[in-house]
Structure 1
Amino acid sequence: MEEKDRDHRHHCHRDSPTPMKKAYYISRNGRLEQPHFLEIHLFPDHPLRLKDVSDWLAVLRGNPMPFLYPWS
C-alpha cells in the first residue's frame, strides 16, 4: 500500500504545474522602465514561450495589455 501511495504522489507531482518567476521590462520612447515581475505556472515538460507570458499578462492586467507593446 505504501508503494502505491508513493507512486501516486510522484505521478501527481510530476503532472502539476511548477511556478516560474520571470522579469520583463517595458520600453517607452526608447527608455526602459523599472522591471516588472511575474509568476507563471507551467508543466515541467512544457517550455516557456513568449505567448505564455503574453497570455498570462492578459489574464492579470486585462485583455488588451499585451497588445499595447511590441515584444521581443
Structure 2
Amino acid sequence: MIEYAVPAAVAAVVILVVLTEIAAAVLPIVIVLLFVPPHERESLARLLAACDSSRRLRLWPALRAAVRARRSEPKRVP
C-alpha cells in the first residue's frame, strides 16, 4: 500500500498542474466571449496581437494601448 503512495502523489500533482494550465488557457477566451461585444472582438484581437511581442502578454502596455485606441475612436451612437 505504501509503495503506491509516492507515485500517486506525483500523479496527483502532475494532474493538478495540467488542469491549472488548461484553465489558465481557457479563462481569457471565456472572459472575451462573455464580456466583449461581438463587433469589437476582432479589433481587440488585433490590438492584443500588436501589443504582445512575446508569448506572455504584457498586460499593462496592452491596456494602455486599448485605452488610447478607444479614446481615439469617434463616438458611436447606438
Shorter-chain TM-score: which interval?
Answer: 0.3 to 0.5
Higher CA-based Rg: 2
TM-score where L is the length of structure 2: 0.34
Q: Under a length normalisation based on structure 1, what TM-score does the superposition of the two structures give?
A: 0.36
Between 1 and 2, higher relative CO (CA 8 Å, sep ≥ 6) is seen in: 1
